[in-house]
Structure 1
Amino acid sequence: MHPTTSGPGATPGFVAREYLVEVDGSPLRVLDAGRGDAVLLGPSYLWSAEMWRPQIEALARHYRVVVPDLWGHGGSGRLPKTTHDISGLARQHLAVMDALGIESFAMCGLSVGGMWAFEMACLAPHRVRAVALLDSFIGAEPEPAKLRFFSMLDAVARSGAVPAPVLDATVPMFFAPDIVSRRPDLPARFRAALQDWPQDRLLDSVVPLGRMIFGRRDALGDASRLRMPRIVLHGAADIPRSVDEAEQMARALACQLTVLPGVGHIASLEAPEVVTEHLLGFLQQAGLGALV
Structure 2
Amino acid sequence: MPFAVIDGQPLHYIDQGTGPVVLLGSSYLWDRHMWAPQIEALSQQYRVIVPELWGHGESGPLPTHTHSLDDLARQALALLDQLDIAQINLVGLSVGGMWGARLAFLAPERINSLVLMDTHLGAEPEATRQYYFSLFKMIEDAGAIPEPLLDVIAPIFFRPGIDRESALYQDFRSSLQGFPRQRLLDSIVPLGRLIFSREDVLKQLPSLDRDTTLVMCGEQDKPRPPHESEEMAELIGCTLTLIPDAGHISARENPDFVNEALLTFLANHA
TM-score, normalised relative to structure 1: 0.90
Report the CA distance between 1:203 and its aligned residue.
0.5
Given the alignment of the two structures, is residue 174 of structure 1 paired with residue 157 of structure 2, yes or no? Answer: yes
Distance 2:166 2:265 in 1: 30
Percent identical: 47
Residue 242 of structure 1 corresponds to 225
Q: How does 1:178-193 map to 2 (within 5 A)?
A: 178-180=161-163, 184-193=166-175
* 2:69 and 2:198 in contact (8 A); partners too: yes
Residue 13 of structure 1 corresponds to none
1:106-151 Cα deviation digits (max 9, x unpaired): 1000000000100000000001111001111111101111110010
Please, which runs of 5 or more residues in structure 2 have no aligned partner? none
RMSD: 1.1
Q: Aligned AA for 2:134?
A: S
Q: How does 1:270-285 map to 2 (within 5 A)?
A: 270-285=253-268
Give the alignment partner of residue 140 of structure 1, picking from 118, 123, 126.
Answer: 123
1:160-193 Cα deviation digits (max 9, x unpaired): 1001232121111111112107x71111111111
* Secondary structure class of the residue paired with 1:126: helix
Distance 1:245 1:184 in 2: 29
Report the CA distance between 1:238 and its aligned residue.
0.7
* 2:220 and 2:247 in contact (8 A); partners too: yes
Structure 1 runs, 4 residues or longer, greater than 4 Å off? none
* 2:31 and 2:53 in contact (8 A); partners too: yes
1:42-97 Cα deviation digits (max 9, x unpaired): 01000001110110011000010000100000000000011110010000001111
Distance 2:43 2:95 in 1: 23
Give the alignment partner of residue 259 of structure 1, picking from 228, 231, 242.
Answer: 242
Report the CA distance between 1:262 and its aligned residue.
2.0
1:213-268 Cα deviation digits (max 9, x unpaired): 00000010110111261011100111111111111111112111111122111111
Q: Aligned AA for 1:190?
A: F
Residue 112 of structure 2 corresponds to 129
Distance 1:279 1:153 in 2: 34
Distance 2:136 2:97 in 1: 21
Residue 197 of structure 2 corresponds to 215
Residue 226 of structure 1 corresponds to 208
Distance 2:12 2:238 in 1: 32
Q: State the aligned residue count.
A: 269
Please, which runs of 5 or more residues in structure 1 have no aligned partner? 1-17
Q: Aligned AA for 1:139?
A: G
More moved, 38-47 vs 258-267:
258-267
Given the alignment of the two structures, is residue 149 of structure 1 paired with residue 136 of structure 2, yes or no? Answer: no
Q: Aligned AA for 1:47?
A: W
Residue 51 of structure 1 corresponds to 34
Q: Aligned AA for 2:241?
A: T
Return the structure number with greater helix share: 2
TM-score, normalised relative to structure 2: 0.97
More moved, 157-166 vs 53-62:
157-166
Residue 201 of structure 1 corresponds to 183
